[in-house]
Chains A and B, each alone.
Chain A
């Protein structure tokens, strides 16, 4: 898809990176869509050996905690409930099977492409309780918020959400505060940034002294972000740069932010691998509680004992690469996933499995 010109710039930027890299640096690509793009373009394989690229917690399906998975699987077994979900969630394994298993046993699970589609399902099936699995970061949450305001206006009372929405900056703060994660700089998520803008990342530079670059998803844009990061690291300059200016305004998307503010409030949330992170979740405001499936159906969460040797949590913190997990490509494959990092199309394990399984850089 890249134009000849883009390919040319890509090659020049690769050469530039090789010339300018002076010492080992560890850079995290936070976003799962970047992880996929990097794997598909084979970027890890052409980097100078000093530049290490690790994946972060930016795959919403992957960071969903086991107790949340079990809770929505429990909901899915209710006679009166139809689960509306993004396809990515279908095969995420819980303690007892997955949504796909429940569907195979006659449960009502419907794949949708948007929150609006889930709401339409509720309109068309007034005798069913439609529960939308609202997963995703700031990019995705405004669409859920919009669907909820429509449901409220139209008084569609058989619609609710199982709320798994999370925010990226608090997770970055948690990662930076954890000394185990020694990351020198970040490729920041382009489409989360289209919503939140540049400001929410300032603490990365100002409090933790790390540079971050907001980047697009073409190979050339990712390579440009790496050159910018290494330039800043060489100069010992910590600041946030936006290299995705045609899509990301400094102030973000004000309409979306106002909508998020109207519908949600920050709340603690539990992330796989990272644990409970203060104010990293988006809880519904009280007037919308009737649309919260947890409130509506009295969902309770039970602690879940670790079932397998799956190291998805360590992968999400950038501590290991997938081949270092004992299950990777042996017991755990996209056909038989043992953990969400292998299920989601943008999970780091799935990306490694599809694009560079033969590498031994675990």
Chain B
């Protein structure tokens, strides 16, 4: 039920509340009411027809560092 899938915003409608999002090759119209900061080109998590979070590029890129850290910590 709390399933959300990532997709890229390819178009924002003039009302500002709806966007076309490319989710694994399928374009779906979703509400971006909850993510007013979202821009074309952003990746968002989509749940039940709503974008619930804009994916932060820097954090996404940093995740491997986080895993490396975990692999080191366990050796304490």
Interface residues of A (CB under 8 A from B): 5, 9, 12-13, 16-17, 19-20, 31-33, 58-61, 86, 88, 113-117, 135-137, 139-140, 142-143, 146, 189-192, 194-195, 220, 224, 227-228, 230-231, 235, 243, 245-249, 253, 255-256, 259, 344, 346
Q: A247 vs B60: C-alpha distance in the bound complex, in angstroms? A: 8
Chain B residues contacting A227 (CB-CB under 8 Å) are 70-71, 74
- Could you write out 23 A-B pairs with CB less than 8 Å apart? A13-B70, A17-B74, A59-B1, A61-B1, A113-B49, A114-B49, A139-B2, A139-B4, A139-B47, A140-B48, A143-B50, A146-B31, A191-B45, A192-B2, A194-B4, A224-B67, A227-B71, A245-B63, A246-B63, A248-B53, A253-B34, A253-B35, A346-B1
Chain B residues contacting A245 (CB-CB under 8 Å) are 56, 59, 62-63, 66
In the complex, B52 has a CB within 8 A of chain A: yes
- Set B52, B57, B71: member contacting A13, Cβ < 8 A: B71
Is B35 touching A9 in the complex (CB atoms < 8 A)? no
- Set B2, B57, B75: member contacting A140, Cβ < 8 A: B2
Q: A61 vs B62: C-alpha distance in the bound complex, in angstroms? A: 35
Interface residues of B (CB under 8 A from A): 1-4, 31, 33-36, 45, 47-50, 52-53, 55-57, 59-60, 62-64, 66-67, 70-71, 73-76
Q: A248 vs B70: C-alpha distance in the bound complex, in angstroms? A: 19
Given A116-B31, A253-B52, A194 and B45 contact (CB-CB distance below 8 Å): yes
Given A9-B64, A146-B33, A246-B56, A33 and B50 contact (CB-CB distance below 8 Å): no
Taking A194-B52, A227-B70 as known contacts, 13 extra A-B pairs with beta carbons closer than 8 A to each other, sorted by chain A number, are A5-B64, A13-B71, A32-B2, A33-B2, A59-B1, A113-B48, A115-B49, A116-B49, A139-B2, A143-B31, A143-B49, A195-B52, A246-B60
Chain A residues contacting B47 (CB-CB under 8 Å) are 139-140, 143, 191
